[in-house]
């Protein structure tokens, strides 16, 4: 079976769930897809899989499942499928520059905040609101 390999750096949380989502691994993924990643497995999960792993990697195995490795230990998730979710917000917002705020809007909000700082200004704002 061919497919991508997923590597984690640091601690990886292993959470068991009810079928069809038998196991969820979440942690910090290694480059090139750096960032937070969550892998959700369906299939049979080994009973001796701990709640936390360190520096885990997940790759497809020839038996139609997935092999989870951490250090010198390995676990086999047999059958089922794998769903991968990555946190892409940082990369998305880094690619889009922020829109500059128009000068009139900046001036208006500075004026409103300055008025809101005093009792007389608050009375004026309440009167303008009606």
| DSSP secondary structure of 41-99 | E-SB--TT--SEEES-EEEE-TTSSEEEEETTEEEEEBSS-EEEEE--HHHHHHHSPPP
Would you state the pLDDT for residue 1? 52
Q: Dihedral angle at the C-alpha atoms of 12, 13, 16, 21, nearest 10 degrees? A: -70
Q: Categorise residue 53: left if φ over 0, alpha if ψ from -120 to 50, beta otherwise.
A: beta
- pLDDT average, residue stretch 117-129: 93
pLDDT digits (tens, 9 = 90+) for 42-96: 888 888 889 999 989 998 887 778 899 998 999 988 888 888 888 888 888 889 8
Would you state the pLDDT for residue 3? 73
Whole-model pTM: value is 0.67
- pLDDT average, residue stretch 95-109: 93
pLDDT digits (tens, 9 = 90+) for 106-115: 999 999 999 9
pLDDT digits (tens, 9 = 90+) for 6-45: 899 989 999 988 878 889 999 998 866 678 899 999 888 8
For 26, the enclosing helix (H) or strand (E) is: strand 23-29
Q: What is the DSSP letter of 5?
A: -
Would you state the pLDDT for residue 32? 60
Would you state the pLDDT for residue 33? 66
């Amino acid at each position: 079976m061919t497919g991508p390999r997923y590597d984690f750096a640091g601690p990886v949380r292993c959470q068991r769930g009810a079928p069809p989502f038998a196991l969820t691994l979440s942690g910090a993924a290694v480059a090139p897809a750096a960032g937070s990643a969550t892998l959700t497995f369906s299939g049979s999960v080994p009973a001796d899989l701990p709640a936390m792993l360190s520096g885990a990697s997940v790759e497809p195995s020839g038996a139609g499942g997935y092999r989870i490795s951490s250090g010198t230990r390995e676990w086999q998730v047999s059958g089922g499928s794998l769903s991968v979710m990555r946190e892409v917000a940082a990369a998305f917002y880094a690619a889009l520059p922020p829109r500059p705020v128009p000068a009139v809007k900046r001036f208006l909000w500075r004026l409103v905040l300055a008025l809101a700082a005093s009792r007389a200004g608050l009375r004026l704002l309440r009167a303008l609101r009606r």
